[in-house]
Structure 1
Amino acid sequence: MLKDKKIVLGITGGIAAYKAAELTRQLIKNGAEVKVIMTRHATEFITPLTMQTLSCGPVFLDMFACIKDFEIAHIALADYADLLVIVPATANVIGKIASGIADDLLTTTVMAAKAPVLICPAMNVNMFENSIVQEKIKDLGSHGFHILSPAAGELACGTEGKGRLPEVPDIMEEIEYLLTEKDLMGEHILVTAGPTREPFDPVRFITNYSSGKMGYAIATVARRRGATVTLVSGPTHLSVPSGVEFLSVSTAREMRDAVLANLPEATVVIKAAAVADYRPAVREPQKIKKKDDDLTVKLERNPDIIQEIGKKKQNRILVGFAMESEHLVENAIAKMVGKNMDFIVANDLTKQGAGFQGDTNIISILDRDGEFQELPLMDKIEAAAIILDKVRKIRNSQLNNPEKERDPFSASWKTAGDKDHLQ
Structure 2
Amino acid sequence: MVEGKNVILAVSGGIAAFKSAALVSKLVQAGANVKVMMTESAKEFVTPLTFQALSSQPVYDNTFHEPDPTKIAHIDIADWADVILVAPATANVLAKLANGIADDMLTTTILATTAPIYLAPAMNVNMYNRRSVQRNVKTLKEDGYKVIDGEEGYLACGWTGKGRMAEPDDLLQILQKHFSSQSRNLLAGKKVVITAGPTQERIDPVRYFTNHSSGKMGYAIAQAAKEQGAEVVLISGPTTLQVPDGIEVVHTISAQDMYEAVIKYFVHADIVIKSAAVADYRPKDTFLHKRKKQPGTWSVEMERTIDILKTIGEQKTTQLLVGFAAESENVEEYALSKLHSKNLDLIVANNILQEGAGFKGETNIIMTIAKDGRKKEYPVLSKIEAAKCIIEDIISYTKRQEHS
Answer whether TM exceeds 0.5 for this pair.
yes
Q: Percent identity?
A: 43
Q: Are positions 1:224 and 2:239 aligned together?
A: no
Q: Report how far residue 316 of structure 1 moved.
A: 1.2
> What is the one-letter code of the residue matched to 1:82?
D
8 Å CA contact 1:196–1:207 kept in 2: the answer is yes
Q: Are residue 351 (structure 1) and residue 362 (structure 2) matched? A: no
Change (3 A) 1:294 1:320: same
The answer to whether the Cα contact below 8 Å between 1:268 and 1:316 also exists between their aligned partners in 2 is yes
The structure whose Rg is larger is 1
| 1:378 maps onto 2:381 in alignment | yes
Kindly indicate whether residue 219 of structure 2 is the aligned counterpart of residue 212 of structure 1.
no
Q: 8 Å contact 1:35–1:57 — kept in the other structure?
A: no
Pairwise CA distance, 1:372: 2.2
Q: Secondary structure at the match of 2:293?
A: coil
Residue by residue over 1:177-233, the C-alpha shift from the partner in whole angstroms, topping out at 9 and shown as x without a partner, is: 9x9322221211111000000011001000000011100110011111111111001
Aligned with residue 239 of structure 2, among 233, 236, 239:
236
What is the DSSP-based 3-state SS (H/G/I as helix, E as strand, rest coil) of the residue aligned with 1:269? strand
Amino acid corresponding to residue 387 of structure 1 in structure 2: I
Letter in 2 for 1:353: G
Match in the other structure for 1:321: 324
Residue 339 (structure 2) aligns with: 336
- Supply the distance in 2 between the matched residues of 1:171 and 1:297 (Cα, whole angstroms): 44
Structure 2 vs 1, CA of residues 237 and 399 (structure 1 numbering), >3 Å: closer, same or farther?
same
Aligned residues: 268
Distance 2:321 2:194 in 1: 10
Q: Contact 1:366–1:372 (CA<8 Å) still a contact in 2?
A: yes
Tell me the equivalent position of 1:388. Answer: 391
Distance 1:213 1:66, change over 3 A: closer
Tell me the residue number matched to 1:414.
Answer: none
Write the deviation string for residues 18-74 of structure 1: whole angstroms up to 9, x where unpaired: xxxxxxxxxxxxxxx9999xxxxxxxxxxxxxxxxxx9654786756799xxxxx9x
Q: Answer whether contact 2:370 2:397 (CA < 8 A) is retained.
A: no
Partner of 1:278: 281
Q: Residues 253 and 77 (structure 1 numbering): CA distance in 2 closer, same or farther, change over 3 Å?
A: same
CA distance in 2, matches of 1:235, 1:78: 39
Check the 8 A contact 2:224/2:388 in 1, yes or no. yes
Distance in 2 separating the partners of 1:238 and 1:56: 39
Relative to the length of structure 1, the TM-score reads: 0.56
1:247 aligns to what?
250
Aligned partner of 1:295 in structure 2 is 298
SS at match of 1:352: coil
| Alpha-carbon shift at residue 170 of structure 1 (Å) | 11
Find the residue that maps to 2:267 and give its secondary structure. helix
Aligned to 1:192, which of 191, 195, 220?
195
User: What is the letter of the counterpart of residue 264 of structure 1?
Assistant: V
Task: Indicate whether 1:82 and 2:82 are aligned.
Answer: yes
Residue 280 of structure 1 contacts residue 299 of structure 1 at CA under 8 Å; is this kept in 2?
yes
Q: Is the 8 A contact 1:278 1:302 kept in 2?
A: yes
Contact 1:35/1:58, CA 8 A, preserved across alignment: no
Paired amino acid for 1:208: N
When normalised by structure 2's length, the TM-score is 0.59
Gaps of 5+ in 1: 8-32, 37-54, 68-72, 84-116, 119-168, 402-423
Partners of 1:218 and 1:381 within 8 A in 2: yes
Q: CA deviation at 1:398?
A: 3.3
Question: Relative to structure 1, is the Cα distance of residues 79 and 322 closer, same or farther in structure 2, using a 3 angstrom cutoff?
Answer: closer
Q: 2:312 aligns with which of 309, 314, 318?
A: 309
